[in-house]
Amino acid sequence: MKQNFPIEQGSEKGSSLFLLKLLKTGFWFLKHTTKLKYPTQLALGRFIGRRVMQLDQEHSRIAAINIDTCFPILSPQQNRELLLEHFENVGMGIVEMAISWWMPDDKFKQLIHVKGLQNLENALSHGKGVILASAQFTTPDILSRCLGKLVPVTEIYHPHRIESVDEQVRTHRKHQVRSFLMHEDLKAITDTLKQNRAVLIRHDMTPGHKQFTFANFFNISAATNTAVSRFARMTKATVLPVTVLRRENNEGYNLIIESPLPGFPGDSIESDTLRLNLAIERWVDKEPAQYGWSYPRFRERPPGEPRFY
């Protein structure tokens, strides 16, 4: 197992030449942020995030609704502070694309602190494959590069709705992971696990098909992907919850690889899905601002319920 650091969709709707030039300028700008010192990069990211919050009214509205609903014990002022901190983390995630794509290995490995590597090594030793069950935190590119430095990982990929952005993300992430598979390519995913490979699945991505169930997330019914449970049942792969969280004081990142979920898969897909949601809740409780609140997590509603957003 290789290890390089210390242990501790869709279409481009309404695209124009102007938009394409703007995107190219944005990626050019991101690449040049790698010349900055790491604390300065994150400070720039926080600034970008505050501007995103001001300019992207729709996602700001969605994030505010999610935070208000999931944290009813917080005061309105505390909710506003959490909303601002969330968008600062979104901005840091944008700058971290550059960090994960272009930062040299010797500098990158100094930022990463691995917790639970033994869990991954033990799981692979069983020869049944490993499902790395993650979630939509604001560190997706850091997570991909971290895992790719530990083990050849296959990432289940959901295309970005803007084709030009999707092309950039795929181009750069393919150097970090072993391969990409689309979430609907069930046979390829199953075959990969049967080859004793590690497969990264973001459990809380609402699928674009009918393979979901409603399970509580912060006591709110949420349409939740059942892929982790289904693939674990089909292949007997070990399931390890995994995430990356930013450390305080610009000290880098914790890559957390948890121990296998005992008795997983369990009696039903529904109970498995709820258990994974609870695992995500534990991470959110640690770092609530780092979760992807601007994603419409509760868009799909059970029959008879009103629209959430």
* Predicted pLDDT at 181: 78
Confidence tier at 19 by pLDDT (50, 70, 90): very low
pLDDT number for residue 9:
39
3-class state of residue 237 by DSSP: coil
- Nearest CA-CA partner of 270 in 222, 208, 218, 219: 222
Record the tokens describing residue 184, joined without a space.
């609907």
Q: Mean pLDDT in the chain?
A: 89
Residue corresponding to tokens 């996602």: 59
Which one-letter DSSP state was computed for residue 251?
A: -
When pLDDT is cut at 50, 70 and 90, the band that residue 10 belongs to is: very low
> What confidence tens digit (pLDDT) does each residue in 279-291 have?
999 999 999 999 9
Q: How confident is the model at residue 299 (pLDDT cuts 50, 70, 90)?
A: very high
Dist CA 30 CA 23 (whole Å): 10
Tell me what pLDDT residue 166 has: 72
Helix count (H) and strand count (E) of the chain? Answer: 11, 9
Predicted local distance difference test score (pLDDT) of residue 16 = 41
Cβ proximity of 263 and 246 under 8 Å:
no
CA gap 117, 64 in Å, rounded: 36
What pairs with residue 261 in β-bridges?
none
Assess whether pLDDT exceeds 80 at residue 95. Answer: yes
Distance CA 292, CA 294 (A): 6
Angle at alpha carbon of residue 157, lines to 156 and 160, rounded to 5°: 165
Categorize the per-residue pLDDT at 23 as very low, low, confident or very high, splitting at 50, 70 and 90.
low
Check pLDDT > 90 for residue 18. Answer: no
Mean pLDDT of 37-42: 97
Reply yes or no on whether the pLDDT at 14 is more than 80.
Answer: no
pLDDT digits (tens, 9 = 90+) for 200-243: 999 988 756 568 999 999 999 999 999 999 999 999 999 999 99
Give the separation between CA 108 and CA 201, rounded to whole angstroms: 23
Please give the share of the chain, as a percent, with pLDDT higher than 90.
Answer: 75
Question: Distance (Å, rounded) from C-alpha 201 to C-alpha 143?
Answer: 12
> What pLDDT is attached to residue 1?
54
pLDDT-derived band at 17 (thresholds 50, 70, 90) equals low
Average pLDDT over residues 109-132: 97
pLDDT of residue 24: 64
| Residue 130 DSSP SS3 | strand
Q: How far apart are CA 265 and CA 305, in angstroms?
A: 30
| pLDDT at position 13 over 50 | no
Between 168 and 39, the more confident residue is: 39
What does R_g of the chain's alpha carbons equal in angstroms?
19
